[in-house]
Structure 1
Amino acid sequence: MRVLVVDDSRTLRKVLARELQKLGIEQILEAEDGLVALDMLEKHTVDLMLLDMEMPELDGLGVLERIKDSEHLRHVPVIVISSAEELDKTVRCIEIGAEDYLPKTFNPVLFRARVLSSYEKKRLRDAEKSYLNQLQAEKEMLQIEQMKTERLMLNILPKPIADQLRDHEQTISSEYPDVTILFSDLVGFTRMASGLSPVALVSMLNDLFTRFDKRARLLGLEKIKTIGDAYMAAAGLPIPRADHAEIAADMALGMFEDLAQFNQKNGMTLDMRIGLNTGPVVAGVIGYTKFSYDLWGNTVNLASRMESTSRPGRVQISPTTQAALADKFMFEPCGQVECKGLGPVNTHFLIGRAA
């Protein structure tokens, strides 16, 4: 415990210091006037100040006012020492924030009680402040961890679905009457993969799929998943939009641009098939630990069939997608495709946007 004794009387300072030493307090600083006291407070950390009221230069009331106006000094406990004639100033000091007061002719028992009481109150305030600071630090760390968790969830799930999961909804599923599903698959990937190390293979796939991800985000599609070298995305969910077929068509055409840039950068000749289909789906979150957002329904199955029966370098679309795109895009008939459970389906190749 460190105590600052402020009094213009050297004799009284020594008396106070001696009484403090009787209490086992050895760290005692002395100041002969208010200005010196303020200077010492800037240089030293003190646990208690014994402040005389009547001093030259700057009296006790003036010192206390400056202390309480200071952000880093206002918490220093102050016991004012005053004579009976200085009662008004003493009351003013208490109003400003002095911890306690002692009469000039003080009783040693009263001195001991008030010094130790003031120190104990400061100790408790410091402990409370430390605890609150610790709580604040823990709260900030918790907020950081929550932000990390939310960012991770948004990398796995669409935001509306992540919000539902965060709100502890047990079953998350929705029906969407009109969306467009995109499937793509790389041609020549297996041959390329056989000549690369696993690390190089993953790195190259990540490069290509990152290009697809950026395009999907720009256009407003929802990436669903990748399986090996296959890429699946959907337009029109989880937030429905009327132009879902158009943005899916733009995505499909743009993916070939991304692949061309990828091939040029890496000196490769990979090709790709893409299929599109439009219709109703059911979407939801499955799993408990490694959950994922997935789609189900015949619309998904037909979109996959559109991709698997397409030709390298082409986008094959179903009749429903062709009808949704209407006169906004150009098409090329490509005959019938046999689809399990549906029979023959007349399909088209997507050429580009109409002039």
Structure 2
Amino acid sequence: MDASHAFQRRVIADIEDQKSQIEQLYASLEAEKERTEQLLRSIMPEAIAEELKATGKVRPRHISSATVMFTDFVDFTKSTQQMNPVALVRMLDRYYGAFDEIVAKHGVEKVKTIGDAYMTVAGDLNGAGHLDHVAATCAAATEIMAYVQHNLDRTAQDEVAGWGLRIGIHTGPISSGVVGTKTPSFDIWGDTVNTAARMVSACDENTVLLSADTAALVKPRERVAERGDIEAKGKGILQVYRLLTS
């Protein structure tokens, strides 16, 4: 009888041990799933991430009105030629980490970084249809510029001063989608993207430059000032405006 009870206790103990192991494995898998989903949401809009997770693909979207922003550090290539690579990455990480927090706060989506260029888009990417994408982008641009100007005279641990910044913004139609299978990435295309890039190329240091299409949608109108005309590659003569950030 005692031997039978001892055997039952061992069986129950083994079952409880296996149950505990399964629960731990399940918790570990759930935590890993959450980390994966957080990573996915950090590199593309939430609705697009959900579609990719559910179907394994994302249908291309045409958005009739969106606002695209580029930021660009002034004289970046020249000023970083003699920089320690580790120090350079550390500084970019500090700046871009701050930019990420700022754009997320205003409901603007980061698209990607290309060297020292930082690209965002705002519009009806998630089908919600409620975001004032011009106001959101201008608010993000104003805060980003303030952050960079605050850091201009700050000396990092690597003893390299901060960089000046220029920002270009344009509003118009875009196409968006996810490309790639092994490492899928969210991206946007269209003339609006090209025009926003032309805005930042023509921009002065520590200035936010707006296309006429974007400036026409800024409220109140007193927040913009005429900058004059620029000749943009592939675009001809464009009228542009400065966003008054202070």
Alignment counterpart, residue 286 of structure 1, candidates 175, 179, 187: 179
Which residue of the other structure, out of 121, 126, 137, is the alignment partner of 1:248? 137
Q: Structure 2, unaligned stretches of length 5 or more?
A: none
Corresponding residue number in structure 1 for 2:50: 163
1:235-260 deviations in Å (ceiling 9; x for gaps) = 22423434110121122222221111
SS at match of 1:231: strand
Per the TM alignment, residue 344 of structure 1 is displaced from its structure 2 partner at its CA by 2.2
1:153 lines up with 2:40 in the alignment: yes
Contact 2:165 2:205 in 1 (8 A): yes
Letter in 2 for 1:283: S
* Aligned counterparts of 1:311 and 1:260: Cα–Cα separation in 2: 14
Q: TM-score if structure 2 supplies the norm length?
A: 0.88
**Aligned match of 1:295:** 188
In the alignment, structure 1 residue 173 sits paired with structure 2 residue 60? yes
Q: Distance in 2 between matches of 1:347 and 1:297?
A: 20
Secondary structure in 2 aligned to 1:325? coil
TM-score (norm. length: structure 1): 0.62
Partner SS for 1:278: strand
* Gapped regions of structure 1 (runs ≥ 5): 1-113
Identity of aligned residues (%): 31
Q: Does residue 321 of structure 1 match 2:214? A: yes
Larger radius of gyration: 1
Q: Is the alpha carbon distance of 1:193 and 1:327 closer, same or farther for their aligned partners in structure 2, counting shifts above 3 Å? A: same
Displacement of 1:117 in angstroms is 4.2
Distance 2:165 2:245 in 1: 16
Kindly state the Cα deviation for residue 328 of structure 1 after the two structures are TM-superposed: 4.0
Distance 1:127 1:245, change over 3 A: same
SS in 1 for 2:36: helix
Q: Quote the residue 2:113 is aligned against.
A: 226
Which is bigger in relative contact order (C-alpha 8 A, separation at least 6)? 2
CA RMSD in angstroms, aligned pairs only: 2.1
What letter corresponds to residue 160 of structure 1 in structure 2? A
Kindly indicate whether residue 224 of structure 2 is the aligned counterpart of residue 335 of structure 1: no
2:23 to 132, 136, 157: 136
Q: Is 2:198 aligned against 1:311?
A: no
1:213 Cα shift?
1.5
Corresponding pairs, count = 240
- The C-alpha deviation readout for 1:249-285, integer Å capped at 9, x for no partner, is 1222222211112222226362222110001111111
